[in-house]
Amino acid sequence: MGKYIIAGNWKMNKLPSETYDFVKEVASATADASCEVVCCTPFVCLPEAVRAAEGTHVKIGAENLHFEDKGAFTGEVSADMLLDLGVSYVIIGHSERREYFAETDETVNLKIKKALSKGLLPIVCCGETLSQREAGITVDFITIQIKKAFAGISAADAEKVTVAYEPIWAIGTGKTATAEQAEEVCAAIRGVLTELYSEETAEKITVQYGGSMNASNAAELLSKKNIDGGLIGGASLKSADFAAICSAAK
């Protein structure tokens, strides 16, 4: 299966002035980790995050980007700007951006293509609402999200994408999907990727779980065949908790 990647999504937390020391803490706490360790930070924290990660195993990611190269897009940040800072990863299509900032499957697809064309590694989020789960349409809904996200992307490029399955009802709620629920959807995602590309390509793509993943439940979730990592919100803000999740990823 894909390479294990544990990525923190700081969301709108931590100040630029707190970033350098915190990333250094993460680097030393995860020094023994065998997975890829990524901190995705607010735009304004990125310069300090990159500076702190220099010469360590920690990679830095952004939480969003714009799909155009440059121009009159007040308040937006381009792929070239992120690359210029030394950023490696970028989260695309988080449910909070879809809900509060009107991101659609179409803009998500454009952003993935832009990131890939520039050499940034996308972490693409998908996930169902509670009412979709209760209606029994989770896998159908995720299948559509994945097909639209990967539209027009070659197999060679698809291998560079990480997919994060984040059930919306589990984000920030303390309510984690059971390892069985998470595995069922991550296996379905792998199935869609197999259908779109090939088994070989699908197996190279990292599929993460996200949603109230923490130091206590990470090992069970990460033991599942189709779960190759985690996208961590709340627990990524404490270096010891984040490091414990990284050690569970073997």
Which residues form the catalytic set? 94, 166
The amino acid present at 185, given as its one-letter code, is V
Residue carrying the six token digits 């990480």: 162
Q: Is 213 in the site for ligand 13P (CB under 6 A)?
A: yes
Rounded to a whole number of angstroms, the minimum distance from the CB of residue 40 to ligand 13P is 8
Q: Is 5 in the site for ligand 13P (CB under 6 A)?
A: no
Rounded to a whole number of angstroms, the minimum distance from the CB of residue 169 to ligand 13P is 10
Residues 119, 130 contacting (CB under 8 angstroms): no
E strand or H helix at 43:
none
Residue from 232, 243, 245, 248 in contact with ligand 13P (CB under 6 A): 232
How many residues in the shown chain lie near ligand 13P by CB under 6 A?
14
Residue 40 vs 197, nearer CB to ligand 13P:
40
Instruction: Give residues 44-83 in contact with ligand 13P (rule: CB under 6 A).
Output: none
Q: Is 212 in the site for ligand 13P (CB under 6 A)?
A: yes
Contacts of 115 (CB under 8 A, 6+ apart): 65, 79, 90, 92, 121, 122
27 CB neighbour count, 10 Å cutoff: 20
Q: Is 217 in the site for ligand 13P (CB under 6 A)?
A: no
Q: What Å distances lie between residue 96 and 46, 64, 107, CA to CA? A: 20, 11, 14
DSSP SS3 for 2? coil
Q: Is 231 in the site for ligand 13P (CB under 6 A)?
A: yes
55 CB neighbour count, 10 Å cutoff: 7
Q: Is 229 in the site for ligand 13P (CB under 6 A)?
A: no
42 closest CA partner among 63, 69, 25: 63
Provide the sign of the torsion angle of the four alpha carbons 180, 181, 184, 189, taken in this order.
Answer: negative
Residue 197 vs 222, nearer CB to ligand 13P:
222
Rounded to a whole number of angstroms, the minimum distance from the CB of residue 175 to ligand 13P is 9
Instruction: Give residues 149-168 in contact with ligand 13P (rule: CB under 6 A).
Output: 166
Q: Which residues bind ligand 13P (CB under 6 A)?
A: 9, 94, 166, 171-172, 210-213, 231-235
